[in-house]
A = this chain, B = another copy of it.
Amino acid sequence: MAIEMTENSAALIDLDHLRRSCGSCALHELCLPAGINGSDLDQLDATVHDKRALDRGKALFRQGESFHALYVVRSGSLKSFVESPGGDLQVLGFHLPGEIVGVDGLTKDHHLCSAEALERTSICELPYLQLQQVTSEVPALQRQLMRVISREMVAEQSHMVMMGKQQAQERLAIFLHSLSDRYGRLSRDPTVLTLSMSRYDIANYLGLVVETVSRLFSRMEAAGVLKVNRKAVRVLRPDLLAEMCGTHVAASFRNAIG
């Protein structure tokens, strides 16, 4: 996968590469409209502080830690989740390259959920104080940051709708469809999915148990919609998959947020 090569080149990143990288980023709207392009990318490179690399299972931040930055996934993937004192946990979302995490920390100066790498993952760190500085200098950027945050919020609403109304099969279909969509936006083949998260994580995220998810994968494979081989899932019939998302609120709502 082409995206993988960004991982170990973090230190010796060239501007052209950075530019391509930021083009598919949730925050590129935050940079490009402000005229940050070409030679200004040095400056952007300076603002985006720490391009960390995380191994599988390593935490980007943990619930309760103090908040000081927003993060954007550069390559790899993350899951975010909350855990109760009893060790019980709830997966809140999965985050692909270009997506933002850490917004939960804006409320109280400390994070209310944890974020963890699902595979080797590299990250852009946007120190909040500096970001605030930049956005206050360019009011349009403030608005754009709002958009990004609000989009996260709406995505959550959409997930909530799904949890409330959708059948198990519709949930998995919506999950896969969403993943496929996001692959498309990253210019990756939207029919070849690599599920970096475990079946347990998927089940937890969808409000189901692992057995149900497993059965659904089998059923959807039997129906000719998917070809499933452990973490490798090929979408054979995108049309059927879309159909399986149902005509209910969650599906149309999810489409609306583009």
Contacts and interface: CB of A to CB of B under 8 A. Distances in A.
Interface of A: 82-86, 88-90, 92, 103-108, 112-113, 132, 135-136, 139, 142-143, 146-147, 149-154, 156-157, 159-161, 163-165, 204-207, 247-253, 256-257
Most buried by B among A86, A163, A205: A163
A78 B156 CA distance: 20
Q: Is the interface of A mostly helix, strand, loop or mixed?
A: helix
A65 to B, nearest CB: 13
9 contacts: A82-B161, A88-B248, A103-B150, A105-B150, A106-B149, A107-B147, A107-B153, A112-B257, A135-B142
A16 to B, nearest CB: 31
B249 A88 contact: yes
A202 to B, nearest CB: 12
B164 A253 contact: no
Given A85-B252, A107-B147, A164-B205, 6 more contacts: A82-B249, A90-B253, A136-B142, A142-B142, A152-B153, A164-B206
Counting every copy of the chain, the complex holds: 2
Nearest to A166: B207
Nearest to A148: B107
A179 to B, nearest CB: 18
A107 B160 contact: no
A153 B151 contact: no
